[in-house]
Amino acid sequence: MINSEKNLKLLQAKFSFDTLAVYRQLLEDEVLRKLAQLVNLVNEEKCNLSQFIRTYNDFYFSLINAGTCSLKDYIADLIIYTATPFSKRLSTKNLPPMDSQLEKAVINDLTRLEQIANLSAFEFKEHALNGICSSPLERKIINELPEWNNSPDCLSYNSEDEGTKLKQSLLTSSNWSQHFSNLSSFFQNNGSGIFARYKAFIWEGENKLTGISSPDPIKLTDLIGYEKEREIVIENTLLFLKNLPANNVLLYGDRGTGKSSTVKALLNEYHSLGLRLIELPKPKLADFPKLVRVIKNINLKFIIFIDDLAFEDSEENYTSLKAVLEGSIENKPENLVIYATSNRRHLIKETFSDRAGLYATNSEDQVRAADNIQEKLSLSDRFGITVIFSSPDQDKYLEIVRGIAQKRGLDIDLETITKEALKWELWYNGRSPRTARQFVDWLEGKIKTKKGDD
């Protein structure tokens, strides 16, 4: 005879799936869909052993294939990072505020999801052993089925990430519905769906924004030199985060001087204040209006990052960027600024032939040449702020080398590091912060190798 207590828990799980409302789209998730199939199967009167084993293993495979062995951890992750009507309502501008009925529905869903998350392999195996096994061989097969665990994976993480901390508090709670307020605050501060899960993105076109799971971890404190230049960019960014007028910024200068690193470090410094970074590749500049429509009503701040921006003389798509910077019919929303880096001061390649027309005998050619030159030179002027990162002189280069080495705790005398650093910049890429870092990487490896040999 089937144990009635265990059956009651499985029956309750079936109703929990059926009654999900605000989080109903979780039924489309592959892992929960497979689990729902298993729950429905064991609640049917006609359930044979082969069906049970196949459905059980289909679910188990989908769970471990998702990268976890913890059902509870997996469901908690979905609650936090799935874009639902609940999370969208709290993270999007111009939507009506939460009403009591929606709040009640969310609280009920959290209770139902907790009941589902607490399902263990034990309940399903007991059902099979007591109800559909008829021989010792069948019982052996059931007992050997793999099991998932209900201990959450994330409790082993030591993270300051707000989403991880929220998940830890959720998973150590015996009543998920009590975390309605915590979830509400999280969505208000961090956005919904991928905007809550990731802090950096790349625009891939066709309305596709892809989150970057492991963005460059560089911090402002890792960057040596160019403090005055970076301070200009930091000040503008803080104004932006405080909802005060802020400018688009062009970081112009020699290669390897830390322009891109500065922008990436801003994200790591201020993402907890609602800052997000979206890299817009140059070939996708014409997609800017589409990107704007995706993010314009989200209660977060976005830096649209265009790296290594430069146009050949034959290219026409710089007009897309010009329209963005100037403003078109569709205004640039207040929750985004554009930060671009370039090795060209005026962004567009200029040739002597451009100026030849100024000296033509035909006045129309002169006017056309002047307009063409002005068009090219004016593009960079449409950035409100231009910050120049020039290659360092020898003293500055050595200062950067020593600063990086000191931060890494390398024990090496001043004379040796100076001599080796100067040789390195002659042999390789010239003087720049990037060259300095590459030299210290080599030096650190050499020192550690020597210690290992000793």
Average pLDDT by consecutive 10-residue portion of the chain (454 residues)?
A: 61 95 96 96 86 96 94 95 94 84 96 95 90 87 91 62 90 94 94 94 89 92 90 96 93 88 95 95 86 91 90 58 63 87 63 44 44 53 85 88 88 86 85 88 84 62
**Rounded CA separation 162/165 (Å):** 5
Q: Torsion angle of alpha carbons 194, 165, 117, 178, nearest 10°?
A: -100
Residue 326 C-alpha from the chain's centroid: 29
pLDDT at 318: 61
The reported pLDDT for the residue numbered 351 is: 46
Using CA atoms, how far residue 262 sits from 11, 144, 228, 245, 268, in Å, is 56, 55, 12, 21, 10
pLDDT at 194: 95
- What pLDDT is stored for residue 425 in this prediction? 85
Task: Tell me the Ramachandran region of residue 200: left when phi exceeds 0, alpha when psi lies from -120 to 50, beta otherwise.
Answer: beta
Q: Which residues contact 179 (CB under 8 A, 6 or more apart)?
A: 110, 166, 169, 170, 173
pTM for the whole structure: 0.83
Give the span between the Cα atoms of 13 and 327, in whole angstroms: 54
Show the tokens assigned to 125.
């195996």
pLDDT digit string, tens, across residues 219-229: 999 888 899 99
Residue 87 has, within 13 A of its CA and on its CB side, a CA count of: 21
